Amino acid sequence: MSVKQVLNIASKIKLNNGVMMPLFGLGCYQVQSEDMEKVIRTSIDNGYILIDTASAYRNEEAIGNVLEKIFKEGKVKREDLFITTKAGTGEHGYDNAITALNDSLKKLKLDYVDLYLIHWPGVKGLKPEDEANSKTRKETWKAFEKLYEEKKCRSIGVSNYTIKHLEELLSHCNIKPTVNQVEFHPFLYQKELYEFCKKNDIVLEAYASLTRGKKFDDEVIGEAAKSLGKTRAQLLLRWAIQKNIVVIPKSSNPERIIENANIFDFEISDATMEKLDCVGDNNQTRICWDPTIVS
């Protein structure tokens, strides 16, 4: 298969600023620097065009080194890829956020990222309900708007925002967030947030779609995957894709990287989708951090 065909495998979704975002990509949390070249090369060879990282993951430099090599080889062009990074909890505030993206760009060896996200609504050291938290969040967004206008990021968005945080942001922003990246899988089907984002033209991007493997032993998941002749991981990813939710599974294992990409050749029936929507512990199984309680 040609690289072009490979790059076209992943379908895309249109963001509210007109940018096309791939529905599928590689999550880089806990991808070790020494594995990065193998992981990115395997991913790109198998149709991944989106790479998700964050300053907090401490692997932007490793990603930048690999991308530099790949671009030099001419195998893939910068504009073929969609790179996301995030400003961390300690990078809130106007000046901090500006510095944070410039630092990330230097490490990634890029002139721009495709998507820049506020990683977490809470500011380090502040309680979620603290008024100063909301003031600083607003300043952070002002910086994001400036960075967007300067074309240092092609789209701006948020992560771990609840409806309350989004309402606050929508009430004062000049540029709307394009994306909200949150934990989302059948065991934490955040339906209200999903509907809110849809209504407000914000694309939902799921993290921990595979529940980090923690719910693979669930019977409903097992049965549905078996009946489709797919793996549990593929079923979980497909469930989100069918809701037009972007998925970014992480794997450092070449076989699993390939397995996770093979989710565009089957469909989950409406009946099975409904079953999956209701699976588990009343949609309360959170694998990662909880933005409703922790700052």
Ligand X SMILES: NC(=O)C1=CN([C@@H]2O[C@H](COP(=O)(O)OP(=O)(O)OC[C@H]3O[C@@H](n4cnc5c(N)ncnc54)[C@H](OP(=O)(O)O)[C@@H]3O)[C@@H](O)[C@H]2O)C=CC1
Ligand Y SMILES: O=C1CO[C@H](CO)[C@@H](O)[C@@H]1O
Q: What is the per-residue binding string for ligand X in 37-66, x denoting contact by CB under 6 A?
A: ---------------x--------------
Tell me how far, at minimum, the Cβ of 252 lies from ligand Y, in Å: 15
Q: Is 214 in the site for ligand Y (CB under 6 A)?
A: no
User: Distance between CA atoms of 122 and 180, rounded to whole angstroms?
Assistant: 15
Tell me how far, at minimum, the Cβ of 12 lies from ligand Y, in Å: 23
Q: Is 125 in the site for ligand X (CB under 6 A)?
A: no
Q: Is 285 in the site for ligand X (CB under 6 A)?
A: no
* Cα separation of the two ends of the chain: 46
Catalytic site includes residue 57? yes
Tell me how far, at minimum, the Cβ of 83 lies from ligand X, in Å: 12
Which of 198, 206, 105, 103 is closest to 154 using CA atoms? 105
Dihedral through CA 193, CA 195, CA 196, CA 199, nearest 10? 160
Q: Is 13 left (phi over 0), alpha (psi -120 to 50) or beta?
A: beta
The interface partner of residue 9, options being ligand Y, ligand X, none and the CB cut-off 5 to 8 Å by kind, is: none
CB closer to ligand Y out of 163 and 288: 288
Dihedral through CA 40, CA 45, CA 47, CA 48, nearest 10? 0
Q: What is the per-residue binding string for ligand X in 158-177, x denoting contact by CB under 6 A?
A: -xx-----------------
* Tokens standing for residue 67: 């991308």
Cα three-residue angle 190-192-198, rounded to 5 degrees: 100
- Known catalytic residues are 57
Binding site for ligand X (CB under 6 A): 27-29, 52, 119, 159-160, 181, 207-213, 233, 248-253, 256, 259-260, 288
